[in-house]
Structure 1
Amino acid sequence: MNVYEQIVAEIKTASNIIITSHKSPDGDSVGSSLGLLHFIEKLGKTATVCHPDPAPSFLDWLDTSSFLIMTEQGEAVEAAFATADLVFCLDYNGTNRVGYDMQVLLEGLTCKTIMIDHHLAPEDFPTITLSETSVSSTAELIVELIEQSGNINLLDQKIGTPLYLGILTDTGSFRFPSTSPRTHEILAKLLTAGVAHHLVHELLSDNNTESRLRLQGYAMCEKLEVMEDYMVAIISLSKEELAKYNYQKGDTDSLANQALSIKGMKAAIVFTERDGIMKISFRSKGQENPVNVLAAENFNGGGHANASGGMSELSVTETLAKIKDLVPKYFSAN
């Protein structure tokens, strides 16, 4: 029995299944959660999705109404964990990625847990681990689970649409190096199953609010700094600047990729002041410009070589100065 068949066997014998994912959800965490949920339902079982916090507004077109959110429905989440006999850990490699309150629940479990993830250095807390760091996304791994367990006949539009979203967003619309020939084979399977890929692109891209566009315009026009000797772009946004443009979760998610699109740019670093800390996104191009080490060694973060996150408890000004001081240590001069 391979690991995929083993996972399906656990689903079929479980009575109370929970699907969890990381804090600050994105297209892959939400998409893989929904795709797995609908697959479990096709197997004749039920599951409860428990996320630490709500999905960003640009994913409102997805049906996440059944999700239990820790920050909003803590007692319901605790009750679900209390009766769980199987818990999925999607799109994260360590228990600290789910926020403190859910981390306590997760680490207190006595039932079986299954990690499905593609991030580097997975922790060994799960009972079963499906970790493939070379794969584009957790959503791609869910498709592999469906196929390699012998259940490809169950793949349909309802399962496939959120999984297509997850692959789309975590590959940067299929432009990141993690997009492999196998990724495209899986995309073909999703299209064959009825996924309307053009609608996913439209729903994801053509739903900007006026305030979101104005914030992004302000960031690119007034806050973009380029360290030309190293071709690294930096954008910083204070809580006052975010408030001025009625910031909503997800409004700044594309800024790093926009800055990285400047001709010749090696890396882009964007940080925003939220919840009393600086939340930092790192993006880069090429194997010679990894950002995960920079994030891990200096900002309590990490992730993929070309896409990582971190945080700083310093002020906006101090964080900006620290980043500028570190750039020459991690990127070669032109």
Structure 2
Amino acid sequence: NEDTGRPEVLSEVRGCEATFEWKTKVVCPPKKMECKFIQKHKTYDLRLLSSLTGSWDFVHEGTSYFINLCQRVFKGPLDCSDRASVCKKSSSGQVQVLGLVHTQKLDVIDDKVIVTYSKGYPCGGNRTASSVIELTCAKTVGRPTFKRFDSDSCTYYFRWDSRAACAVRPQEVSMVNGTLTNPVTGRSFSLGEIYFKLFSASGDMRTNGDNYLYEIQLSSITSSANPACSGANICQVKPNDQHFSRKVGTSDRTKYYVQDGDLDVVFASSSKCGKDKTKSVSSTIFFHCDPMVKDGIPEFSHETADCQYLFSWYTAAVCPLGVAFDGENAGPEYK
């Protein structure tokens, strides 16, 4: 087939020696690496930081950096290789690769998750640029920051404080009509009005020009302008196409998890993954306490490699979770 290709005769010498050329995708380096691993009986899942819809970018001293874990950089600079996980663009516009996807290595050192990429731009003396990303457990998804450059080894070091670096198993809780109950402590807590309200999340703009909005109602959508969204918890719509809609989160098999005062809600769906028809789409909302806002607004984060749609929601509604629900001494349950 097209991916396998066929061998072709390149040259032949006196009928005794033939040289063939075989163009095939079979020997191409992988464009996606494993993002979940287990070390010392603890599970680490970095899929939260692996985006199909963009990359993590920031500017340090005039230089722009683009990072995407476990796969290539999306929405990066034009000259960033489609095999690169880390790129930089100088203030003059020069683009350099700081590490390729297939060179990824994962490790845990002193409670930090270390992700390394190599085979970047040539540095002279048979050396190539490499990147070391140090992830430290934190309460939010976070963003990468520049740490330092080691000219002797031509290595760029980045720091990233993120919940993805935490090896924990959150406490699953039950939900009935907007009220959460912790089966361990027996305590209950109500999400109040945000459970029954209809919200809209924006921020999903794809490289092909598509723009999506997400209607979100935790109790299930009942009054959408798009009738096809009725009954879903999360529905993907296009603002300029009234005929497009897709349920990416439904209430059956919904899981609620509490960890250190934060609430994670995981929705399954029957919609098939466009990239892998054997998988179904799922959605996760990460709730964080923000006492400065009342309801807050959910925001689209990104789509992961395994068809998870991720959202962040900062709201005062979950602030009581920290002390009134977990208990003052409760902490994450480590594997």
TM > 0.5: no
Q: Which structure carries more relative contact order (alpha carbon 8 Å, separation 6+)?
A: 1
**Alignment TM class, shorter chain as reference:** under 0.3
TM-score by length of 2: 0.26
More strand by share: 2
